[in-house]
Amino acid sequence: MSLEEADIIRRRAEGFLRNAKRLISEGEWDLAVFNLEQYCQLILKYKLLVSRGSYPRSHSLRTLIRILSQDKPELVSLIEDTSKLHYVARLEEAYIVARYLPYTFEEKEVKDLYRFVLEVFKPLVERI
């Protein structure tokens, strides 16, 4: 894939994050958390694409983090630190739950996940 194509994935990821913020402001908790997960998934795939030239066809954030952390070991804290893993796992669950299950997310949990993505996940991933 070209750098132009990789940049499309990065811009799409950023769009999902902006959309999550808007959806939170509108009280659309389920869609907001799905957009947070999509941001995380796409930004990890973008980083893999830039560093390795490709990425696996997986929706698992943990799988993507494990693969990327082979080249960028500082990222492994997202799955080795239990408090961070809790958030990553919750975001990963959101991919399935928000699309297929009759489950609704609560305002507090969505805002907490958003805070994690902005304050922990995003800065860590941007540094690599």
Domain that holds residue 116: 3-127
Instruction: Name the pTM for this structure.
Output: 0.94
The residues, ordered by sequence, that sit 6+ positions from 21 with a Cβ below 8 Å of its Cβ are 114
CA dihedral (2, 118, 106, 20) positive or negative: negative
- The CATH number covering residue 107 comes to 1.20.120.330
In this prediction, residue 97 has a pLDDT band, given cuts at 50, 70 and 90, of confident
CA distance 78 to 62: 8
The total number of structural domains in the chain stands at 1
In this structure, how many other beta carbons lie within 10 angstroms of the beta carbon of residue 49? 19
pLDDT of residue 47: 95
